[in-house]
Amino acid sequence: MSNGSYYHETLKTMGPRDVSLPMKAPFPARAALLGVMGALLGSILWLLIAIAGNLERAIPAILVGVFGGVATRIEPRRGRPAQVVTLVATLIGLTVVQYFVVRYSIITERAGLGIDRSAPVLLAPAAMWSVTFGWLRVFPVDVVFWVVSAALAYWLPGRPSEAHLQPPDRRPTRPRGSSGNSASLP
């Protein structure tokens, strides 16, 4: 070997990269982060609306999916991974806020009956599960709002065009105003 190591010689013989192969898109971290932040904002708004309006129903839960999906659309490089992360963040937000909305409802109901309002912020996991999903058995129509919210979180970001993943076109371009004859090309 004349000018260096084995690796140097190997790299010299490899040649240029084949651009005809489709490139894999990197993980859209910014779009996923925006989706998580949007779902968090929607969750906070749902909680504030529920507390301010003494609302037990899950109608504002749609905000969680809308905010998550719209926030993901801000980033032009998004795709299925960002959609999935936004959907998961929406489902987590729905579950957590549903727990706190139901907990708030139970505490205010107990206060109305003259019972002590004190309750821990977080209950035991089995009790949390019972409070959160037991409420959906009381109001089964609220499941519809959860499904709509999750569908919006997944559907709103959509799949962007993947033109930025295609190799550059090697055909010569026509000058503006040309008739389209191939004879006019150089």
Q: What average pLDDT does the structure give for the chain? A: 79
Chain segment 12-56, per-residue pLDDT in tens: 555 555 455 566 667 888 989 999 999 999 999 999 999 899 888
Contact by Cβ (8 Å): 37, 179: no
Residue of 145, 165, 161 lying closest to 59 (CA atoms):
145
Whole-model pTM: value is 0.69
CB atoms within 10 A of CB 94: 25
Residue 163: its pLDDT value, please? Answer: 43
d(CA 42, CA 34): 12
Residue 135 confidence class, pLDDT cut points 50, 70, 90: confident
Q: pLDDT higher for 23 or 134?
A: 134
Delimit the domains of the chain by residue range: 26-159
